[in-house]
Structure 1
């Protein structure tokens, strides 16, 4: 199974939408791009997704990039608003720097657990979402006078 994360980079944060089969699963927030901050987001590419357990954090998805020594994870926002290094944080909305991150994380975790139980191999592809530029016609804003 292939999940696609389309993101847009900003100075304060990286916003994204996570898709499965062209259907949006959740929104995501990440730290700004590495060029802007010293707490970078994951680089674009293809990652395999696996679940890991820790006593302190419980179950959470870990991302591995083949051929590169890059590891990331999917985890809720730290204390509701803080970003974690090399981490994708699911949120329900972008307002107020993400809302209901823990709830969005738990819903996504349930879906991932179900897919893995069915024996599916999950791959996450991270890409930049192009900004659509609308061609503005110079005459469209002028009033048309009837003769």
Structure 2
């Protein structure tokens, strides 16, 4: 089974959408590509599941020598975490526990049938860490770090 994560890179965060069998499953929230600890690279990853006493079952995968978890984050600004979200209201993620439970239950169901589950992460527009430009009060261009 293949789970798709389509990303949208924003200045302060990375939003995404999980699709399963071509159907929208939930939204996601990740750290910005402009932070020191960037989100995992786009590509294909084999998903695994693990149990935690505090949060219950969650999903994870390995990429670039780092472990990325798909779970409700207990830490504000946690890196190496993809947070499932039911929807956003004025840029505020809502019902993250519900989205995480639905996603985890569906993936564990496939794993229970001894099927490998793969996560494909992609985007229509590739991120850039180039300097962003803006006009200063004198209407001349200034380089600005993102």
TM range (shorter): 0.7 to 0.9
**Mapped partners of 1:24, 1:62: distance in 2:** 20
Secondary structure of the equivalent of 1:113?
A: helix
Query: Structure 2 stretches of 5 or more lacking a match?
Result: 127-146
How far residue 83 of structure 1 moved from its aligned partner, in angstroms, is: 3.4
Residues 77 and 101 of structure 1 are in contact (CA less than 8 Å); yes or no, is this contact kept in structure 2? Answer: no
Whichever of the two has the greater Rg, that structure is: 1
Q: Which has the higher strand share?
A: 2
Please, which of 84, 92, 103 is the counterpart of residue 86 of structure 2? Answer: 92
Question: How well do the aligned residues superpose, as a CA RMSD in angstroms?
Answer: 1.8
Corresponding pairs, count: 125
Residues 42 and 87 of structure 1 are in contact (CA less than 8 Å); yes or no, is this contact kept in structure 2? Answer: no
Q: Structure 1: which 4+ aligned runs deviate by more than 4 Å?
A: none
**Mapped partners of 1:59, 1:94: distance in 2:** 24
Residues 73 and 81 of structure 2 are in contact (CA less than 8 Å); yes or no, is this contact kept in structure 1? Answer: no
How far residue 130 of structure 1 moved from its aligned partner, in angstroms, is: 4.1
Query: Structure 1 stretches of 5 or more lacking a match?
Result: 132-147
Matches within 5 A, 1:3-22: 3-22=3-22
Residues 77 and 102 of structure 1 are in contact (CA less than 8 Å); yes or no, is this contact kept in structure 2? Answer: no
